[in-house]
Amino acid sequence: MTLSPVTVRPIAASDFEAWLPLWQGYNQFYGRSGATALADDITQMTWSRFFDAYEPVHALVAESEEGLLGLTHYLFHRSTTRIAPNCYLQDLFTTEAARGRGVGRALIEAVYERARAAGSPRVYWQTHETNATAMKLYDKVAQRSGFLVYGKAL
């Protein structure tokens, strides 16, 4: 199946119904479904942050004539090692049909553009160590930092 040309653009309020299945697919990929699904209020708050000028959270979508094919959510934050804000690419997801067709790369490159425009010297993200398919792309568009991520639910 050949995809029509893909455009990456900022998310719009009218995208909610098309964004939601992508968001749910992303969360399901990381084991957040069924009994461990995110609460609806988290999804609603995440969505509202994209449109709040005071929030550092942003969203882009990839679309073609087939509809929305992918999403990325990113945010800017301060750092103790840089003056300008870092850009953290928090979420990246494409439909199964879009994988391997440049959609993920287009979304990452669009985040790079937004980060440059904001004066951010760095974009970074993390993925699960079992996400081998995505890491094939990530190894082409970025460098592994060597850092391991630790966390503790409180």
Give the residue-averaged pLDDT of 16-33.
Answer: 92
Residue at 11 is within a domain: yes
Q: Which helix (H) or strand (E) holds 42?
A: helix 40-49
62 vs 93: CA distance, rounded Å: 10
**Is residue 16 pLDDT above 60, yes or no?**
yes
Q: Over the stretch 93-135, which tens digit does the pLDDT of each residue have?
A: 999 989 888 999 999 999 999 999 999 999 999 998 999 989 9
**Is residue 150 pLDDT above 60, yes or no?**
yes
**Is residue 2 pLDDT above 80, yes or no?**
no
Query: What contacts 3, CB < 8 A, 6 or more positions away?
Result: 64, 66, 69, 97, 98, 101, 103
Query: What contacts 119, CB < 8 A, 6 or more positions away?
Result: 84, 85
CATH number at residue 119: 3.40.630.30
Residue at 150 is within a domain: no
What is the pTM assigned to this prediction? 0.92
Looking at the 3D structure of the chain, how many domains does it have?
A: 1
Strand order in the sheet with 7-10: 7-10, 57-64, 67-77, 86-94, 123-124
Q: Which residue has the higher pLDDT, 148 or 63?
A: 63
Print the domain residue range for 116: 7-141
Residue at 32 is within a domain: yes
43 vs 45: CA distance, rounded Å: 5
Residue at 15 is within a domain: yes
Task: Could you list the beta-strand ranges (E) of 6-154.
Answer: 7-10, 57-64, 67-77, 86-94, 123-124
Residue at 148 is within a domain: no
Residue at 146 is within a domain: no
Residue at 27 is within a domain: yes
According to the model, what pLDDT value does residue 148 have? 84
Residue at 151 is within a domain: no
